[in-house]
Amino acid sequence: MIPNRSMKTSQTSIIIADSSTISRLGLNSIVNQMDGFVVVGEAENSDAVFDLIVAKSPKIVIIDFLSDDFDIETVMNIKKKFPNVFLLAITPLQNGNTLVNALRAGVDSYIKKSCDIPEVVEAIQVTSKGRSFYCGKILEKIRKESIDISEMNHVDLTCDAVVLSRREKEILALISEGLTNSKIAEMLFLSSHTITTHRKNIMSKLGVKNTAGIVMYAVKSGIVSPNKFLFAS
């Protein structure tokens, strides 16, 4: 029996803004399977999304600003009028200029429409906590085109302290123990692509460029004991 989610309290409310009916249905299905989250409205154009935000006061707006009847101005105006609303952009992969404009406009998190379901779920969960999440393809684009997100005019893109999610800490510990992405994926029942994305997010948050940097952070922060390496066979 499917629980009546509308009866639950303290749920994180979400509006889905996308001109594609199929995309809205897919995202709605994903959110409906998540504990503590509920879709309170769907918008197929810019005018509708503003009306819904006023009526429903969502915590998150998931938006494809590249779809028909939406644009970067929609993002800018949402952030200007509703600064407390978190924006998660889910679009096809675009060039670096599109990404830069989105981040400057106020997008909190950015992933591709081709990301797998666990990655979409993680993006929603992280964004709901006021943190930024980028999928592996977006991080790759940021690095390839030398995009410095720390210089973007958006306060949520930088944090004084490194904040890793429970899943990221779990994966960081396994990486530090020398496990491969495929082995970690097998252990956690996730896809290798999802593990790769987590690895890239971890490296981005820590500001390191390789596995050695991850291991050093794990030891210094007490996530793993140096004894693991001293007594490893």
Q: Is residue 4 part of a domain?
A: no
> For residue range 123-162, what is the model confidence (pLDDT) as tens digits?
999 999 998 888 777 766 666 666 655 554 443 333 334 6
Indicate the SS3 state at residue 160: coil
> For residue range 13-28, what is the model confidence (pLDDT) as tens digits?
999 999 999 999 999 9
Q: Is residue 161 part of a domain?
A: no
Count of domains for the chain: 2
Q: Is residue 160 part of a domain?
A: no
> For residue range 101-128, what is the model confidence (pLDDT) as tens digits?
888 889 999 998 988 898 899 999 999 9
- What pLDDT sits at residue 104? 84
- The secondary structure of 54-113, three-state, reads HHHCCCEEEECCCCCCCCHHHHHHHHHHCCCCEEEEEECCCCHHHHHHHHHHCCCEEEEC
User: Considering the entire predicted model, what is its pTM?
Assistant: 0.62
**What percent of the chain stands above pLDDT 70?**
80
Q: Is residue 3 part of a domain?
A: no
Of the spans 84-88, 116-120, 174-178, 222-226, which averages the highest pLDDT? Answer: 84-88
**Do 38 and 141 reside in the same domain of the chain?**
yes
Tokens 């199929």 -> residue: 22
**Do 135 and 226 reside in the same domain of the chain?**
no
Q: Is residue 188 part of a domain?
A: yes
**Do 107 and 203 reside in the same domain of the chain?**
no
**Do 65 and 143 reside in the same domain of the chain?**
yes
Q: Which of 229, 164, 170 is nearest to 202 (CA)?
A: 164
DSSP code for 134: B
End position of a domain, from candidates 155, 185, 216: 155
Q: Is residue 70 part of a domain?
A: yes
SS3 content of the chain, % helix, strand, coil (to 5): 50, 10, 35
